Structure 1
């Protein structure tokens, strides 16, 4: 039934998205919510690479591990907030984004900040998920 699953759409009466996201994500009433702390680009050894792109890749790897730990899939993600301290290489980011989401994009916000929680963190990605 349509009201028992997560649905996404871009209303026709407004401009389309300027990136790989959806304007509206609707969560069914019976869904269980998962709110994750922002994930960062730390590698398995607990280090932060100097490269923004490496940190982006590590962040997506960490998000995938988080999803797996809760038996969630990318389709359960309903909202993504991306915070970065330097210009994002969108070709790189979009490759990681498409690898995770395919063509089923969640709602998304991006912001540039002077600094994140630690000086070596260049990107932090927060996810909200729902499982009907």
Structure 2
């Protein structure tokens, strides 16, 4: 089982993440390329960060499912947001998804960066991840 924790020697996290996460011996690390808010048919889930974040996280969940895994196997997420004006929508969608994925608040390590732009001008959010899978 992935261990996530926050040492008492520094301030608690300022958001939905754990300061530390470790992977048990024998687990396979799988890198998840940056996911954007694209629906399975290749169209964008919406113009705003909330819809795009919700879909990017749904895409990550689908990728995990294809591995026989789930959100509990995520070790780390890294979110890129194209402009500070999209941070609130991103956080709102993440909070909704994390409430379902992690009802006990055992969140993976996570970083969020605000950038000037992503690969295409219509994209507001991109999320990549790392998952640890038990031996199969």
Q: TM-score normalised to the size of structure 1? A: 0.90
Give the superposition deviation at 1:120: 1.3
- Tell me what 1:31 maps to: 27
Over the aligned positions, Cα root-mean-square deviation in angstroms equals 1.3
Between the two proteins, the alignment pairs up a number of residues equal to 128
Q: Could you tell me how far apart the structure 2 residues matched to 1:91 and 1:126 are?
A: 18
TM-score (norm 2): 0.87
Structure 1 gaps, min length 5 = none
For residues 4-63 of structure 1, the C-alpha deviation after alignment (integer angstroms, 9 at most, x for no partner) is x31111001111100111011011121111101011001233122212211111111111
- Structure 1 stretches of 4+ moved >3 Å: none
Structure 2: stretches of 5+ with no match in the other structure? none
Aligned residue for 1:37, secondary structure, equals strand
For 1:66 and 1:79, locate their aligned partners in 2 and report how far apart those are by CA, in whole Å.
15
Which residue in 1 is equivalent to 2:78?
Answer: 81
CA displacement 1:92-114 (0-9 Å, x = unmatched): 33112222233220000000111
